[in-house]
């Protein structure tokens, strides 16, 4: 029988119990994974105070070069404990072991290494020599300082990857953090706090509080007057709720929210490559990635062939246990989320969709039936205003529709309230440079998907977010400038 973990809150370097606990169950077979201690308002307040105290302690006095070295030690510690992090991610999410290794844990290491390399950029000084009309001269320079205590709120789909994507640059800029992981994925955040302490990060720099959203930990944290900035990745509706909670304190926010991402497939593309790439962008992590493709638009002459090829790719993905090397797709995060995805499938059929693959929950005839598996699903035949074409489903599903002209393709892709990402599949370099910039998204790929340079700005438009993360954009959010103006007197 698997060991059931007890997960405490981490405040000022020590474990703190909650007045209440909640259970975390496996999406693979429904077994109990952990008993989690929910943070009360008092615990959240203590975590914010611990983070504030750390700012004025050794952490606040740490030199930039030493902070960078410490971030690299964190990266090496995560590397050394990689299999523990893989186990934590898999226990919470049910994703295949290999996916957790090469994506979640590898990116966590890269996030800390990148932050260590980029830390000097957070303190870059901009200087200007000024001469006014009346002959006065001055030297202006901007000195960057950390925001202070940052609330880091991360979702359940890529819990370790997105946690480190936020924590690493926040620490690089000199901040301290209070982390709230999703109640559905509490394990890796708790383990990361332990690993960071092992690497030498001072007590109070990283605090972890477990719980839910409204009326619980999330609301206590986002409305707390001691929070200096909030970074959040998750659903658009949750982002709106956080903005409401943060408004009385005028707390700055950075949001990466939902997506209803489009892929445009032109006749001049390498069809096999486009099919394989689209299958990856639709079904990776069971479609539970904000960057996944849910709307696919294919130029009419190759439409039928593309749908047939994508269907073959979907049917070839074998669901199963995370440790089974044959497993090509894991479960959804919970049975509740599976019910939501299934309801969209039922609605798609009512709206007139033709189903080419999937649509019904998978039955194994064993304990996996207590999990949250759902098959790769492909629809065609819906209009552009169908609910399943406009709403984010966040599962292994997509709708494929034909188009005739380049202008029509761009209009279809832009016909959404979301504007996170898109992919263009074409062999025409001129078309690539015309179409990609015309898409109203934060990130447009050409003949690829989820190819990231961590220095580049990342985020979305419309209901897909507010602000940008990555590289200089992250440095700008996690720090603020003080401009110093010194008059240069006459000789």
Q: What is the dihedral of CA 300, 301, 305, 307, to 10 degrees?
A: 0
Active site residue 398: no
Yes or no: say if 418 and 260 are a contact pair by the CB < 8 Å rule. Answer: yes
Sequence-ordered alpha helix ranges (H) in 317-405:
335-350, 387-390
Active site residue 80: no
| DSSP codes of every residue in 436-488 | HHHS-SSEEEES-SS---TTS-B--EETTEES-BSHHHHHHHHEEEEEEEEEE
Catalytic residue among 89, 290, 294, 469: 290
Yes or no: say if 344 and 395 are a contact pair by the CB < 8 Å rule. Answer: yes
How far CA 391 is from CA of 83, 294, 387, 418, in Å, comes to 36, 9, 6, 9
What is the residue whose two structure tokens read 């039928």?
A: 304
CA dist., res. 360 & res. 357, Å (int): 9
How far CA 352 is from CA of 32, 35, 346, 390, 455, in Å, comes to 40, 44, 10, 15, 44
What is the residue whose two structure tokens read 């290999």?
A: 98
Catalytic residue among 183, 219, 256, 313: 256
Residue 405, both tokens: 């002209």
CA dist., res. 44 & res. 132, Å (int): 50
Give the residue among 163, 206, 221, 214 at the shortest CA–CA distance from 187.
163
CA dist., res. 31 & res. 138, Å (int): 67
What is the residue whose two structure tokens read 């959010």?
A: 477
Residue 167, both tokens: 């924590």
CA dist., res. 366 & res. 354, Å (int): 30
CA dist., res. 267 & res. 280, Å (int): 20
Neighbour-count burial of 455, counting CB atoms closer than 10 A to its CB (0-12 exposed, 13-18 middle, 19+ buried): middle
Yes or no: say if 463 and 236 are a contact pair by the CB < 8 Å rule. Answer: yes
Q: What is the dihedral of CA 227, 228, 234, 235, to 10 degrees?
A: 80
Would you name the residues annotated as active-site residues?
256, 290
């Amino acid at each position: 029988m698997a060991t059931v973990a007890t997960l405490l809150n981490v405040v000022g370097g020590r474990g703190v119990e909650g007045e209440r606990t909640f259970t975390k169950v496996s999406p693979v077979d429904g077994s109990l994974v952990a008993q989690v201690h929910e943070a009360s308002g008092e615990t959240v307040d203590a975590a914010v105070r611990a983070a504030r105290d750390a700012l004025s302690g050794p952490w606040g006095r740490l030199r930039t070069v030493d902070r960078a070295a410490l971030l690299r030690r964190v990266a090496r510690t995560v590397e050394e404990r990689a299999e523990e992090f893989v186990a934590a991610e898999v226990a919470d999410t049910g994703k295949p072991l290999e996916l957790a290794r090469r994506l979640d844990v590898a990116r966590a290491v890269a996030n800390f290494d990148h932050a260590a390399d980029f830390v000097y950029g957070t303190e870059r000084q901009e200087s200007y020599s000024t001469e006014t009309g009346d002959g006065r001269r001055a030297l202006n320079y901007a000195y960057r300082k950390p925001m202070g205590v940052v609330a880091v709120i991360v979702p359940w789909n890529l819990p370790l990857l997105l946690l480190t994507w936020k924590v690493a640059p926040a620490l690089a800029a000199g901040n301290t953090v209070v982390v709230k992981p999703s109640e559905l994925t509490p394990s890796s955040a708790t383990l990361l706090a332990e690993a960071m302490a092992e690497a030498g990060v001072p007590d109070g720099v990283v605090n972890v509080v477990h719980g839910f959203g409204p009326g619980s930990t999330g609301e206590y944290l986002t409305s707390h007057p001691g929070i200096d900035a909030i970074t959040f990745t998750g659903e658009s509706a949750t982002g709106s709720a956080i903005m409401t909670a943060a408004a009385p304190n005028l707390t700055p926010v950075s949001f990466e929210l939902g997506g209803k991402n489009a892929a445009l497939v032109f006749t001049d593309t390498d069809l096999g490559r486009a099919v394989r790439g689209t299958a990856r962008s639709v079904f990776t992590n069971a479609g539970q990635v904000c960057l996944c493709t849910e709307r696919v638009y294919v130029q009419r002459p190759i439409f039928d062939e593309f749908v047939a090829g994508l269907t073959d790719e979907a049917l070839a993905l074998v669901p199963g246990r995370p440790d089974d090397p044959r497993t090509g797709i894991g479960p959804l995060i919970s049975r509740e989320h599976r019910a939501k995805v299934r309801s969209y499938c039922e609605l798609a059929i009512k709206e007139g969709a033709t189903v080419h693959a999937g649509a019904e929950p998978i039955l194994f005839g064993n304990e996996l039936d207590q999990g949250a598996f759902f098959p790769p699903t492909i629809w065609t035949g819906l209009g552009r205003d169908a609910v399943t074409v406009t709403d984010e489903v966040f599962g292994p599903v997509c709708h494929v529709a034909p188009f005739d002209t380049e202008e029509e393709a761009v209009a279809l892709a832009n016909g959404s309230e979301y504007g996170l990402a898109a992919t263009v599949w074409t062999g025409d370099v001129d078309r690539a440079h015309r179409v990609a910039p015309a898409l109203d998204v934060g990130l447009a790929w050409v003949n690829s998907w989820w190819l990231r340079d961590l220095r580049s700005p990342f985020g979305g438009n419309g209901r897909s977010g507010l602000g940008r993360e990555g590289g200089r954009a992250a440095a700008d959010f996690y720090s603020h400038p003080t401009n110093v103006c010194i008059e240069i007197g006459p000789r």
